[in-house]
Amino acid sequence: MIPVLAGDVALIGVTDRGFHSRALSTGEGRRPCGASVRSRIVGGMTVARQALGAWGERRAAQHLTDDSFRVVARNWRCPLGEIDIIAWDGETLVFCEVKTRRGLGFGLPAEAVVAAKARRLRRLGARWVSLNSAYPREIRFDVIAILVRRPGSVEIDHIRGAF
């Protein structure tokens, strides 16, 4: 696998067994002993969190594809925000919010989709439909919650019609 570079951290792999990264050597030397890769912050999130989220979105897209959905967009953005995955389930247009967590310290992943997030996703969905001249028979908002309990243990919970 070719490493994906993010600052001075190489994201060398995110597999079913978990997320792996390592610090890269720069011209100024290596990271001090004990320095955490997770401490690297890019755009308000740590590199490790960004990589975990991206990995979760890839797993969610694969889950939808395996379940006969047709994914038409990932990480669609406009000034109002972002939709993680847009897919067709037959004649139903589905907007998916993906939440990935490594543990239950902050609750279940799906609990992170609060009322304000649901309202924002509804507005984003309406914007996407109007910009793409889509004519779905139905529109649905799903949440895909991914929980990585330990390496090799991944739970995917697809909540159809979550809000």
Residue 44, exposed/middle/buried by CB under 10 A (0-12, 13-18, 19+)?
Answer: exposed
Residue 33 lies in a domain: no
Residue 71 lies in a domain: yes
pLDDT tens profile 44-101: 678 888 999 999 999 999 999 999 999 999 999 999 999 999 999 999 999 999 999 9
Residue 21 lies in a domain: no
The pLDDT of residue 22: 45
The pLDDT of residue 24: 38
Domain count, the chain: 1
Residue 5 lies in a domain: no
Q: Are 162 and 117 a contacting pair, CB within 8 Å?
A: no
Residue 7 lies in a domain: no
CATH code: domain of residue 138: 3.40.1350.10
Residue 23 lies in a domain: no
Q: Does the structure show a pLDDT above 90 at 41?
A: no
What pTM does this model have? 0.73
The pLDDT of residue 134: 87
Q: Which domain holds residue 71?
A: 41-159
